[in-house]
Chains A and B, each alone.
Chain A
């Protein structure tokens, strides 16, 4: 079946550090891939997505590239801010089945 594995947290970084959160997937067919973010006390919101191989999703300085050969969709940001502190979820959708989420990675950015 479909599944998503993302690196376990928590991840603690200093402001302006480089961020990578790894995400790999297993899926039948050709999935779409997503990163969602959950800020403290809120629901999830879509951060970025990619619908086919080699697509790059980007938003708010975050980027992720859909790599079919390595079945990965790693999230990166060149310079994190305190306001990026949140929980990040990788997810995939394949066919008409509901989204499958990873377990989430908590990021804390300290000034």
Chain B
């Protein structure tokens, strides 16, 4: 079974803090994705990566950055957390481009105070 793990299920941070959300997949997938999920807005793509050290902006990259130093790990970074970044963050991976099935982690619910 494909497994995508996220470092925390719940996280509470203060405004202005630097926040790291970690995601690891164990199936040697090339593609990895970060989404945020908000009520009424569905899933919105923040960043994605089609290979190690590659990254591409999604629909809402402002205020975020990412790092992919190893194939299995994709980190989302909030450089200076703000209250409007309070959300559920979901990581996903897929085999390669054009192979749509994505496998999701359980999510990290982030609260920024």
Q: Is A49 a contact partner of B104 (Cβ separation < 8 A)?
A: no
Count, chain B residues at interface, CB 8 A? 21
**Hey, what's the 0/1 contact readout for B68-103 against A, CB within 8 Å counting as 1?**
000000000000000000000010100001101111
A-B contact pairs, 26 of them (CB 8 A): A34-B101, A41-B106, A42-B106, A43-B4, A43-B92, A43-B104, A43-B106, A44-B43, A44-B92, A44-B102, A45-B104, A46-B101, A46-B103, A49-B101, A89-B43, A91-B100, A93-B98, A96-B97, A98-B45, A99-B100, A101-B42, A101-B43, A103-B40, A103-B42, A104-B42, A104-B43
- Give Cα A95–Cα B58 distance, bound, in whole angstroms: 16
Contacts of B58 in A (CB 8 A): 98
Residues in A33-85 with C-beta less than 8 Å from chain B: 34, 36, 41-46, 49
Task: Tell me, yes or no, whether A32 is within 8 Å of chain B by CB.
Answer: yes
Count, chain A residues at interface, CB 8 A? 21
Q: List B residues at the A interface (Cβ < 8 Å).
A: 4, 33, 40-43, 45, 48, 58, 90, 92, 97-98, 100-107
Residue of chain B at shortest CB distance from A103: B42
Q: Is A32 a contact partner of B90 (Cβ separation < 8 A)?
A: no
Q: Is B98 a contact partner of A99 (Cβ separation < 8 A)?
A: no
Contacts of A44 in B (CB 8 A): 43, 90, 92, 102, 104
Q: Which of A89, A93, A98 contacts B33, CB < 8 Å?
A: A98
Determine how close the nearest CB of chain B comes to the CB of A83; give it in whole angstroms: 18
Contacts of A104 in B (CB 8 A): 42-43
Select the residue from A34, A44, A93 with max chain B CB neighbours within 10 A. Answer: A44
Residue of chain B at shortest CB distance from A31: B100
Q: Is A34 a contact partner of B100 (Cβ separation < 8 A)?
A: yes
Determine how close the nearest CB of chain B comes to the CB of A73; give it in whole angstroms: 13
